[in-house]
Structure 1
Amino acid sequence: MNWDQVKGQWKIAKGKAREEWGDLTDDELEQAAGEREQLEGLIQKRYGKTKEAAKDEVQSWIDRM
């Protein structure tokens, strides 16, 4: 799956993202609205990760979907 597919199916992907990053709220995921950079930023902020680590996590998540 690529990011365009994730963005196009955000309502489904949002639930899977919630499973992956349980500390993110539904409101935060709704705010991200399928925007990869916003999701990465939320992960950085909530989990105290570097930008690169958040980017790698999101890519790994996409690859598994």
Structure 2
Amino acid sequence: MTQEQCPLNKREIEIVRYLAEGDTAKAISNKTGLTEFSVAMQIKIARRIVSAKNATHLAAMALRKGWIE
């Protein structure tokens, strides 16, 4: 599988990686030091950038396209 160019920034990728591991926004906020609101906004922004239907779709797309492992 070839890795596609990722349109997300480092912070968005970090959050998507945690999403793919099954973490909640609260757990991600604890791990990153961001507020839960900031995590939710980063997820929302990342979803818009890649046209994902929801957070699960976002994580699946990132895995499939090779943006995260």
Q: Same fold (TM over 0.5)?
A: no
Q: Which has the higher contact order (CA 8 A, sep 6+)?
A: 2
* TM-score of the superposed pair, with normalisation by structure 1: 0.44
What TM-score do the two structures reach when normalised by structure 2?
Answer: 0.42
- The structure where helix makes up a greater share of residues is 1
- Considering only CA atoms, is the larger Rg found in Structure 1 or Structure 2? 2
